[in-house]
Chain A
């Protein structure tokens, strides 16, 4: 076991987990933050996307012990205007990919407040949605107010 510290959504946490444990696992199991979903556990779907220092990364293949920087999960974005925008645009079906979508989208609009469709498609291509909610996700990002 190996103890380390994580800053998540502005709060400090002491975690004790074996080396090799993923950040996604630590978030969900040790910190009880189950908003971040694990769908493939090998970096092929984007459901586990979190931000580290504002940069979207895949938490399922990030080793928790190697995290430098502040982690932002969907729980830290619950007041983000994108949330309202997603709900209004109906940019959610089963919802399993949605937290990851919002995390990626939040990073996009932080860098580019009014992205074009092209920019949206390029920046969001790392978040798979099996339900096919993509058109509504695009609308949600195009129409967000912040």
Chain B
């Protein structure tokens, strides 16, 4: 029986209440541990296609008569279009259409950042479109440019109301604390740099708009495009079978899709609008910079009594105010917590969600602060975390939390620190650090799947989801195979086309597996039950192989359908983990080498341990990038991006990879869906920067307060540590002899 209920849905740490239709989900979770297919390593179903270069990404799609669009972007950080003349562009060879501000959603008259899209041209070739862009005549009125986040906050230039939170009495607790640490942490602007740039191809067929797009959210694009263009949603088809990375930056249609749609309408031909790498690094979103002014107070017994944070997010011209304060609020059992979070509106490219937005930055500040407290208290950092373990989320029970188990499994890695330190010499100092991870990952409704069985006993899981490279396609096949009781090789998964399937969740916020997985299982269970009915009618025993039962079907098929049920009411669904990192620091040159990372994650039941380990390694390596070498830089005068090419914006290569040891607690969350699985896309990137910084402190005594930990920052921190040591030596010597 279908029921309409209201439930809470979380994506990327943002919550909304939604209505959903649920069927009762009578499925019991599978027992813990590897099963016949689920819980066993499975190579990717689409692995050969990707490896051989046969996978067709949006960048590879060619439609007959397709035109290419180029976008004119503001070079001013803040300016208004006074005059625009498209005629010179239209006069150039190959140019088929040109549009200006307001003629497609996202083409603006007031450019709020250098890189803001203003006009666009469609031409036979991309080179012609680029040449046409150069020919457009523009006059601008320059406006005031604000680049400094503290200045923006002072002037109340904010993208939203400041977000405040308080529990207990922070000032009193700090006053009574035995130890107080106060520090400012800064994190930089980080660029996603998916290898396939943002792009879409739009083609009108009659009144139907077909959108081929590199996206993390087929259904979100469908909804947004339909709403923006005033179309019924059924008149928008969105296709994305393979996409080359998103990391949170491809959650919606953005201006290039609307540009392509409008130019396609005007020309009557398909239009591709693809960002160049330079545009990708200026205009396609970023993990915003943060300034975190933190205080922590503790008693000498190791109880953290107060945590106080003022967080300034450099949101940019638009965007949302990420929960940088989240870890401070949620990670530890601290009675007195106060946070205020400002979203500074600046004339810089808008932020976009990037793999655990807010929590990556906030975990760096918090977990470094905690270790600074540990050092002052002379308490072991692991011990300090255990002593302040939260057994509920501010009173709300967790659906499951195995962080203590993560800590227990971290012990042998943590124990290595004694031996690691002994391998220090005059130049290279070695140490070990750790950091805890908390994040979301419960997914939510709705999501739907169908399972189609034919007389050959092969099952097709029909979905309209996307696999952004995380291997969720394979996990869905495993889930269906397990439920149907067939080998993995007998199951195919169809995805990537909104015309061929029902609503599927976004692939962001670590949502795909916990949202789609239960729907797939329910669909497979529905199909299985029908098969069992047939077996009974045919007088066959229940354990007859499925292909024998259905062999009689001929053209008939069995169609199972399933939907994602609600999340457990009154519970917090969160993921947990811990990283233990070994580093070596060259104290003369400031070089930091990450030598080993042990990552232990609690994300409920693991469907595919092979794919899961790749997620963990990938998140760690991406995190090493933002910890050591990546930074988007702006020209302070013009607000223009300086690091728009990949020689300047340096991401890790294979040579930067440490030894990575990956462990999963792998205990199903018994309250969460018929799978008990949470998402793993984001957890591995959350604690790595803090763990590296803490390892550096262990190795050298230096406190790094800034990301990236460039040589400049490392040398600064080493000098400061030296100075501290000199001062305390002097004080010791100067103190009167008294014991």
Please say whether the chains A and B touch (CB closer than 8 A): yes
Q: Which of chain B's residues have a CB closer than 8 A to the CB of A134?
A: 617, 621, 652-654, 657
Q: Is A42 an interface residue (CB 8 A)?
A: yes
Q: Which of chain A's residues have a CB closer than 8 A to the CB of B192?
A: 130
Instruction: Find residues 33-76 in chain B having any chain A CB closer than 8 Å to their own CB.
Output: 41, 43-44, 46-57, 59-60
B614 nearest in chain A by CB position: A90
* A131–B469 touching, CB < 8 Å: yes
Q: Which of B237-245, B296-304, B384-392, B534-542 contacts A (4 or more CB under 8 A)?
A: B237-245
Instruction: Give bound CA distance, A47 to B193, whole Å.
Output: 13
* B654–A130 touching, CB < 8 Å: no
Pick the most buried of A34, A131, A133: most chain B CB atoms within 10 A of its CB: A131
A20 nearest in chain B by CB position: B127
Q: Is A31 an interface residue (CB 8 A)?
A: no
* A136–B245 touching, CB < 8 Å: no
Q: Which of chain A's residues have a CB closer than 8 A to the CB of B321?
A: none
* B276–A41 touching, CB < 8 Å: yes
Given contacts A95-B469, A97-B195, A136-B617, contact A34 B56 (CB under 8 A): yes
Minimal beta-carbon separation of A130 from chain B (angstroms):
5
Further pairs besides A94-B242, A96-B57: 10, Cβ < 8 Å: A39-B195, A39-B277, A44-B645, A87-B43, A87-B48, A90-B44, A94-B245, A96-B195, A97-B195, A125-B654
* B655–A93 touching, CB < 8 Å: no
5 contacts between A and B (CB under 8 A): A37-B59, A44-B645, A90-B610, A95-B244, A134-B654
B612 nearest in chain A by CB position: A90
* B469–A124 touching, CB < 8 Å: no
* B617–A75 touching, CB < 8 Å: no
| Per-position binary interface string of chain A over residues 121-137, scored 1 when its CB falls under 8 Å from any chain B CB and 0 otherwise | 11011111111111111
* A45–B52 touching, CB < 8 Å: no
Q: Is B253 an interface residue (CB 8 A)?
A: no
Q: Is B504 an interface residue (CB 8 A)?
A: no
| Per-position binary interface string of chain B over residues 651-680, scored 1 when its CB falls under 8 Å from any chain A CB and 0 otherwise | 111110100100000000000000000000
B60 nearest in chain A by CB position: A34
B684 nearest in chain A by CB position: A132
- Top 4 nearest A-B pairs (CB, nearest first) are A35-B53, A94-B469, A95-B50, A96-B244
Q: Is B197 an interface residue (CB 8 A)?
A: yes
* B470–A93 touching, CB < 8 Å: yes
Instruction: Give bound CA distance, A73 to B53, whole Å.
Output: 9
Instruction: Find residues 220-269 in chain B having any chain A CB closer than 8 Å to their own CB.
Output: 242-245, 247
Minimal beta-carbon separation of A143 from chain B (angstroms):
13
A133: contacting residue among B276, B617, B646, CB under 8 A? B617
Q: Which of chain B's residues have a CB closer than 8 A to the CB of A88?
A: 43
Instruction: Give bound CA distance, A124 to B333, whole Å.
Output: 46
Q: Which of chain B's residues have a CB closer than 8 A to the CB of A41?
A: 276-277
| Per-position binary interface string of chain B over residues 589-630, scored 1 when its CB falls under 8 Å from any chain A CB and 0 otherwise | 000000000000000000000110110011111100000000
- Counted as pairs of residues, one from A and one from B, with CB atoms less than 8 Å apart, the total is 162
Q: Which of chain B's residues have a CB closer than 8 A to the CB of A96?
A: 57, 194-196, 244-245
Q: Which of chain B's residues have a CB closer than 8 A to the CB of A40?
A: 277, 645-646
Q: Is B468 an interface residue (CB 8 A)?
A: yes
Given contacts A40-B277, A41-B276, A96-B244, contact A135 B196 (CB under 8 A): no
Q: Which of chain B's residues have a CB closer than 8 A to the CB of A138?
A: 654, 657
Given contacts A45-B195, A94-B469, A130-B194, contact A137 B53 (CB under 8 A): no
Given contacts A93-B618, A125-B655, A135-B657, contact A86 B51 (CB under 8 A): yes
B654: contacting residue among A34, A44, A95, A120, CB under 8 A? A120
| Residues of A within 8 A of B (CB-CB), count | 51
* B51–A92 touching, CB < 8 Å: yes
A34 nearest in chain B by CB position: B60
A binding-site residues for B, Cβ under 8 Å: 28, 34-42, 44-45, 47, 73-75, 77-78, 83, 86-88, 90-99, 102, 120-122, 124-138
Given contacts A39-B197, A87-B47, A125-B655, contact A131 B645 (CB under 8 A): no
B659 nearest in chain A by CB position: A135
Instruction: Give bound CA distance, A95 to B242, whole Å.
Output: 9
B50: contacting residue among A75, A92, A124, CB under 8 A? A92
Instruction: Give bound CA distance, A136 to B618, whole Å.
Output: 10
Instruction: Give bound CA distance, A126 to B646, whole Å.
Output: 12
Q: Is B471 an interface residue (CB 8 A)?
A: yes
* B53–A74 touching, CB < 8 Å: yes
Q: Which of chain A's residues have a CB closer than 8 A to the CB of B471?
A: 90, 93
* A133–B614 touching, CB < 8 Å: yes
Minimal beta-carbon separation of A105 from chain B (angstroms):
11
Pick the most buried of A37, A39, A74, A77: most chain B CB atoms within 10 A of its CB: A39
Q: Which of chain A's residues have a CB closer than 8 A to the CB of B194?
A: 94, 96, 130
* A131–B52 touching, CB < 8 Å: no
Instruction: Give bound CA distance, A90 to B55, whole Å.
Output: 16
Given contacts A74-B53, A130-B651, A133-B614, contact A47 B621 (CB under 8 A): no
